[in-house]
Every structure is written in structure tokens, then in C-alpha cells.
């Protein structure tokens, strides 16, 4: 489908594994989609440091409580969204979208930046990459000045 005044379709394609961009796509996709597993790696690292005597148990408890506290207190969805716009609209997100052969479709005319909108992504429950949809160059090309919050 070609772009016209009402519809816009943009693609990011996966490169072959032997291509340098293909390697970067794999690394970016693994890093971006596995952020929800980092807490386990960090917890194991803290536990290992305590077992080796490199970190006291009280220091480890402070680190774990600080992490849990920020989960309870930090709510970006209630404010202006994620504060790292430089990352959200960087080429890393385009690499992630390329790895998943993303196709983004805007049906209808360009949206008013002053409006409030609800966007749908599919499939959203398979990988933790829904945030990639609202980032990278695809989002800017399709929605311009509309800033997502999630």
C-alpha cells in the first residue's frame, strides 16, 4: 500500500544474520525485549557479592529496598512519560523494529498533536517490545509531534 493523505504504511525489515546490521538488530532486540528479566540478574549479582564478602548484607538490603521503592514510587504513565526521549527516538529502536520485521500502519489522516489518542499494537503480549512501536523514526514519520506516554 502506498502512502497517501489518509493511510501511511512504514516497514522496518530484518537483515540477514551475516550482515553487520543484522547482528546489531539481534543484540538490540534481545536487550530491549528482555529488560523485564534484568531484576533477576541484578538480584543474583547482589547475592553473589554478599556470598563473596564484597558487599555487606546491610548494603545489599539497602540496594534491594531502593529498587523496590522506585517501583512503587516511579509512575511515568502519570506524568509526561518516559524521560529518556533521546533513547526512545534513537536508532536502537529502529534496529529492534527491524529485527521483528515491523510494519506500522496509520489509517486515516495525520492526527492533531493537541488531541488525546489510544493506540493499539498487535501482538502485544508475546515480547516486551510494545514501547518500540512508539519510538524510533517510524513514530516520528507517522505521528510527528505526538508524544506517547506508557
What would the grid cell of residue 133 be?
512501536
| Integer Cα distance of 134 and 77 in angstroms | 14
- Report CA 119 to chain centroid distance, whole Å: 15
Region of poorest pLDDT, from 59-63, 75-79, 105-109: 75-79
Residues in Cβ contact with 119 at an 8 Å cutoff, skipping those fewer than 6 apart? 133, 134, 148
3-state helix, strand, coil in the chain (%, to 5): 50, 5, 45
pLDDT at residue 126 in the model: 52
What would the grid cell of residue 45 be?
549479582
pLDDT at residue 58 in the model: 95
Across residues 47-60, what is the average pLDDT?
Answer: 94
CB 85 within 8 A of CB 146: no
Across residues 103-108, what is the average pLDDT?
Answer: 81
Across residues 1-8, what is the average pLDDT?
Answer: 58
pLDDT at residue 56 in the model: 95
Whole-model pTM?
0.62
pLDDT at residue 101 is higher than 90: no
Residues in Cβ contact with 114 at an 8 Å cutoff, skipping those fewer than 6 apart? none
Dihedrals φ, ψ of 25, to 5°? -60, -45
Amino acid at each position: 500500500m502506498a502512502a497517501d493523505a489518509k493511510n501511511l504504511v512504514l516497514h522496518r525489515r530484518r537483515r540477514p544474520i551475516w550482515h553487520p546490521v543484522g547482528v546489531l538488530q539481534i543484540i538490540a532486540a534481545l536487550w530491549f525485549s528482555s529488560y523485564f528479566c534484568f531484576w533477576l540478574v541484578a538480584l543474583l549479582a547482589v547475592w553473589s557479592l554478599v556470598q563473596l564478602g564484597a558487599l555487606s548484607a546491610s548494603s545489599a538490603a539497602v540496594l534491594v529496598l531502593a529498587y523496590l521503592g522506585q517501583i512503587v514510587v516511579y509512575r511515568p504513565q502519570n506524568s509526561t512519560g518516559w524521560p529518556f526521549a533521546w533513547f526512545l527516538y534513537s536508532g536502537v529502536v529502529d534496529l529492534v523494529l527491524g529485527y521483528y520485521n515491523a510494519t506500522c500502519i496509520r489509517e486515516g489522516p495525520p492526527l492533531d498533536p493537541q488531541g488525546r489518542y489510544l493506540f493499539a499494537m498487535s501482538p502485544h503480549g508475546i515480547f516486551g517490545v510494545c514501547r518500540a512501536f512508539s519510538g524510533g523514526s517510524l513514530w516520528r514519520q507517522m505521528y510527528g509531534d505526538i508524544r506517547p506516554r506508557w
